Amino acid sequence: MSMGVSNLIGRVADRRVLQRWTRLADIAGNLDFSELKSARARANDLRREIDRLCRAADGRMAEVGPAGSVVEAPANADWSWRPDFWRIAADPPGVAGVASGTVVGPGVAMFHDCPLQEITFRQLRNRGATDLAPFGLNMDVFRFEGSFLSLAVDLPREAVAGLTRRHLIGLHAAFRFERPLEIFARLNIRNGPNTDQLVLEIAKGSKERNVEFDLAYSELNEKRIESAWLDLIFEAPQMSQIEIRDLTMYRRHRTEI
C-alpha cells in the first residue's frame, strides 16, 4: 500500500472517530447513568493520550524550530541560553496552591514565605509576532502575607566553565504585568565555601529589560567556581498577574580600554 493511500485511509478513519464522538457529545444529556459513566471513562482515556501527543508535538516543534533556539546576545558573547521552561512544553503545565520550593520546570523553582499559598502558575504558548520564546510563564498571586516571592533558575554548567571576573553576565527578560511591579534580579555564584551575589533592579513597570552583572565588582574566586543560579525577586506581588514571556542569559568579556 502506498504512503498516500495509507494517509488517506487514516484521515477517513480519524474523521469517522470525530463524527462518532461529536454525536455522542450531542446526546450525552439523554444517556442513562451507566452509559454516561462508560462514555466519560473512554473519553478521559482518549483525552489523556491526545494531550500527551499535543505536549510532545509542541515540545518537539519548539525544540527544532528557530523560535526555541534564537537568543538575542552581543556578537562577542561566548555563551547564551534560554531555560527549558521557555523552550519546550512542561509536564505538568501548571500548579495551583504553590508551596515554597515547588518545581516549575527543569532547573526552575518558586520560593516564598506566604502561609496562604494563594499562588498559581502555568505555562502559556507565546503566539505574538515578536515572541522569540515558544512558551511563557504566567503567575497569579492573590492574597500574599509573606515577605518575599522569588523564582530561582539554575544556570547550566556551561555558564560557569572558564568564568572569570572579566566577564559580564547579561539577562534579558520580557514581562507583561496586570499592574506595575518592582523586580530585582540577583545572580548567585557559589565558589568554595562562599556564594557571591550581585543584585540589579528591574525598573517598575518595565516590559522588557536588559541588564548586565559585572563580575569585576564581586570577590569571586575563579579557581573554585562550582555553580550559579539566578533569583527573580518580586516585591509586594499580591493581587497581581505576572507573565514572564521570555528569559534569556548570556556572558561576554568586558571591553578593555
Kindly list the domain boundaries of the chain, sorted by start residue. 3-64, 70-253
Percent of the chain with pLDDT over 70: 88
Euclidean distance between CA atoms 4 and 8, whole angstroms: 6
What was the pLDDT predicted at 256? 64
Residue pair 168/252 in contact by the 8 Å Cβ criterion: yes
Euclidean distance between CA atoms 168 and 188, whole angstroms: 13
pTM greater than the 0.85 cutoff? no
195: which strand partners?
190
What was the pLDDT predicted at 196? 95
Lowest mean pLDDT among 62-71, 161-170, 209-218: 62-71
Whose cell is 504512503? That residue is 3
The CA-atom distances, in angstroms, between 11 and each of 7, 8, 14 are: 6, 5, 5
CATH class of 70-253: mainly beta
